[in-house]
Amino acid sequence: MVEIQINTTQNVNINFTAASVGERILAYLIDLIIKIAYSIVTYQIVFNFFKIEELTSNMDYWSQISIYVAFYLPVIFYTLIFETLLDGQTPGKRILQIKVVKIDGYQASLADYIIRWFFRIVDLNIMSGLVALISIITTNKNQRLGDMTAGTSVISLKNNINISHTILEDLKDDYKPTYPSVIKLSDNDARIIKDTYTAAKHSKDYETLIKLREKIMEVAHIKERKENNDIDFISTVMKDYNYYTQGM
């Protein structure tokens, strides 16, 4: 079991458990089965039902190729599409409860997913994935070449944690939120905010609390705080975030 220590932009260390080689391989196989199933169904519908070969018989060779490729674009861009839409997960990764994250602690961006997807050509297609396997085993953060280039890693979401280590907050039944725009934050943002807030509050690091408050207001588009101090403001933001996302 490999522990990944992520140092956030607020200089707070967060520990995650890296997804094992077995989990990543199994997730890959699940995704592969889904892609094969899609290809079989598409072939049956397009080539047998719609008789696409007859419809394209009068077209030139490259026009025919482009039409065939168009039907299989979802397979080609499968990983990129799902990791972008599911915040770092494909159906296989979701089933195995693993996820792509940035090493700096923030949610990976579209550019990061594109880099990871592009490097699949080297990682997974050359030598039948041996390059990726060697890279994951030998790097200290279990990264393949695409991860190292994008600054990402794949972590396990199956850690045994309690409420004090999560983004959850205890809310009263009659709780009324103050900042609706906190919904702009992601779960990863909320986790970083809580960890930074807890550490800074404990050490009385008011400079970090000020920077954290400014960053929250910037990301969540909060123009003015209603609390008298940063500690109360950040606490309210965390409770509001939980209020708006607990049913999602």
pLDDT tens track for 101-137: 888 766 788 999 999 999 998 888 777 688 888 998 9
The confidence score (pLDDT) of residue 5 equals 65
Task: Output the pLDDT for position 13.
Answer: 56
Of 98, 122, 156, the domain-final residue? 156
Strand, coil or helix: what is 80?
Answer: helix
Residue with tokens 């607020």: 10
User: Closest by alpha carbon to 10, among 195, 143, 240?
Assistant: 195
Rounded Cα distance, 205 and 77, in Å: 45
First to last CA, the chain: 31
Is residue 95's pLDDT more than 60? yes
Last residue of one domain, picked from the residues 156, 179, 205: 156
pLDDT value of residue 154:
92
pLDDT, residue 53, reads 66
Q: Residue for token digits 């997807």?
A: 117
Q: What is the pLDDT of residue 172?
A: 73
* 66/182 same-domain check: no
66-81 CB burial, b ≥16 within 10 A, e <16: eeeeebbeeeeebbbe
Q: Are residues 107 and 196 in the same domain?
A: no
117 and 89 part of one domain: yes
C-alpha to C-alpha distance for 140 and 144, rounded to whole angstroms: 11
- DSSP H or E stretch at residue 211: helix 206-219
pLDDT in tens, 62-92: 877 887 788 889 999 999 999 999 989 999 9
Query: Which of 128-137, 152-161, 204-213 bottoms out in mean pLDDT, i.e. has the lowest?
Result: 152-161
Based on the fold, state whether residues 46 and 111 are members of the same structural domain: yes
Looking at residue 191, the DSSP 8-state letter turns out to be: H
| pLDDT exceeds 90 at position 12 | no
How many angstroms separate the CA atoms of 110 and 81, rounded?
A: 10
Least confident of 44-53, 100-109, 171-180: 44-53
- Looking at the fold, whether 58 and 151 belong to one and the same domain comes out as yes
Considering 156, 191, 206, which residue would you say is the last residue of a domain? 156
Count other C-beta atoms under 10 Å from residue 246's C-beta: 10
Rounded to two decimals, what is the model's pTM? 0.62
C-alpha closest to that of 132 among 112, 140, 113, 122: 122
Q: How many domains does the chain have?
A: 2
Position 161: which residue type?
Answer: I
Return the structure tokens found at 179: 């900042």
Question: Mean pLDDT throughout 232-246?
Answer: 86
Q: Is the pLDDT of residue 138 over 70?
A: yes
pLDDT per residue as tens digits for the range 214-225 = 999 999 999 898
- Look up the domain containing 112 and give its range: 3-156
| Residues 28, 104 share a domain | yes
Residue 162 pLDDT grade (very low, low, confident, very high; cuts 50, 70, 90): very low
Same domain for 22 and 142, yes or no, is yes
The mean pLDDT of the chain is 83
pLDDT-based confidence at residue 173 (cuts at 50, 70, 90): confident
pLDDT at 28 (0 to 100): 94
Split at pLDDT 50, 70, 90, the class of 55 is low
Tell me what pLDDT residue 166 has.
Answer: 47
Q: Which helix (H) or strand (E) holds 237?
A: helix 230-245
DSSP string, 135-170: HHHHSTT---HHHHHHTEEEEES-----GGGSS---
Q: How far is CA 94 from the centre of its chain?
A: 10
Structure tokens at 102: 């940035």
CB atoms near residue 184 (< 10 Å):
13
